[in-house]
Amino acid sequence: MKSSAKTAQTGVRYLEIDQNRAGQRLDNFLLRQLKGVPKSRVYRLLRRGEVRVNRGRAGPDYRLQEGDSVRLPPVRTAAPTTAVTADYGWLSARILHEDEHLLVIDKPAGFAVHGGSEVAVGVIEAFRTLRPDANFLELVHRLDRGTSGCLLLAKSRPALLALHRMWRDGGVHKHYLALIKGRWRGGARMVNVPLARDRPRGAERLVGVTTEGKNAESRFTPKRTHGPATLVDIELLTGRTHQARVHAAHLGHPIAGDDKYGDYAFNRSLRPLGLRRLFLHAAVLHFAHPVHGNTLHVEAPLPAELAAVLERLDHERKI
């Protein structure tokens, strides 16, 4: 039986490595260049010496250097498709900031940041297809699929490496808006409890508070009370998986709509008010530009469906 997937035969190609590609492992570079070629075939090409770097053999873990010449042998690859462009062109309207080194998008809830076993296309795959001439485009960080808001992408390797350092060293200030269960008492509160993936539930592993975990710091600042809930600003001073969600639950104020760490009865009570998602929104990124040095302050407005939930809570309180 013939496959229905469209393919294209390429000839021998020679690619010169620029600064955006320098530093990548050779196997990762090949997987990006030879789209549609099975991973096993790519590694076989390397073992047979059909891929050459500066006319010589190179292993899969070789780190490409600026000025290297890479020979790609003739292979049959997946033919270019315009499907992603047609389906996801609307993402361009959600760009909050863009220059020659980086891009910030207001990611919608329900849209994964990258493809995987359950999702064919995420934000990064969509943008790579929308920008076919871009030599480099990578995620700087990740947001949960259910979280909306500011997502940062790098358009050059120097920018990516600099932003990774800034992210690790606290140079990027990250503020989230979340609706939490209960009325908040007092002012701003620091949470400094370590987190680790240590609670299995079915096929997934949840994050929990444990003394053996990694340091995790968050600052919770109340914004306004809405009936039986409070809108808070959560500044993440570190960037652990599910940090805002686990810290909120640890305080006894789980985030509304959280199906992993939340309160089932609280979530159910908000469904008639229109809450069908996690009420967590990456509202602000504040950092120094990794190349130019000027201060960037990027804000993503609270999505209309979340603002509507707050309005309905306020209306119920007045009745």
Q: Are both 115 and 135 inside the same structural domain?
A: yes
Which of 75, 103, 123 terminates a domain? The answer is: 75
Q: Is residue 109 part of a domain?
A: yes
Q: Are both 178 and 298 inside the same structural domain?
A: yes
Which of 154, 183, 198 terminates a domain? The answer is: 154
C-alpha–C-alpha distance, residues 300 and 150, integer Å: 6
Residue 43's domain comprises 8-75
Q: Is residue 162 part of a domain?
A: no
Picking from 296, 12, 37, 28, the residue whose alpha carbon sits closest to that of residue 157 is 28
Statement: residue 154 has pLDDT above 80: yes
- 31/161: higher pLDDT: 161
Which of 27, 68, 106, 144 is catalytic? The answer is 144
Question: How large a percentage of the chain has pLDDT more than 70?
Answer: 90
pLDDT digits (tens, 9 = 90+) for 217-263: 999 999 999 999 999 999 999 989 999 999 999 999 999 999 999 99
Mean pLDDT of all residues belonging to the chain:
89
Q: Are 208 and 199 in contact (CB under 8 A)?
A: yes
pLDDT for res 149? 98
Q: Are both 136 and 194 inside the same structural domain?
A: no
Q: Are both 38 and 98 inside the same structural domain?
A: no
The CATH code of the domain that includes 22 is 3.10.290.10
Q: Is residue 22 part of a domain?
A: yes
Q: Is residue 1 part of a domain?
A: no
Answering whether pTM is above 0.85, one says no
Q: Are both 67 and 96 inside the same structural domain?
A: no
Beta-carbon count within 10 A of 187 CB: 8
- 1/55: higher pLDDT: 55
Beta bridge partners of 14: 71
The CATH code of the domain that includes 123 is 3.30.2350.10
pLDDT digits (tens, 9 = 90+) for 250-278: 999 999 999 999 999 999 999 999 999 99
- Per the structure, the count of domains in the chain is 3
Task: Give Cα 287 distance to the centre of its chain.
Answer: 17
Q: Are both 31 and 62 inside the same structural domain?
A: yes
> How many helical (H) and strand (E) elements, i.e. helices and strands, does the chain have?
8, 17
Q: Are 217 and 191 in contact (CB under 8 A)?
A: yes
**What string of DSSP letters covers 202-255?**
TTEEEEEE-TTSB--EEEEEEEEEETTEEEEEEEESS--TTHHHHHHHHTT-PB
Annotated catalytic residue 314: no
Beta-carbon count within 10 A of 240 CB: 20
The pLDDT of 21-40, averaged and rounded, is 83
Q: Is residue 92 part of a domain?
A: yes
Residue with tokens 């602000």: 284
Q: Is residue 180 part of a domain?
A: yes
Picking from 283, 29, 292, the residue whose alpha carbon sits closest to that of residue 163 is 292
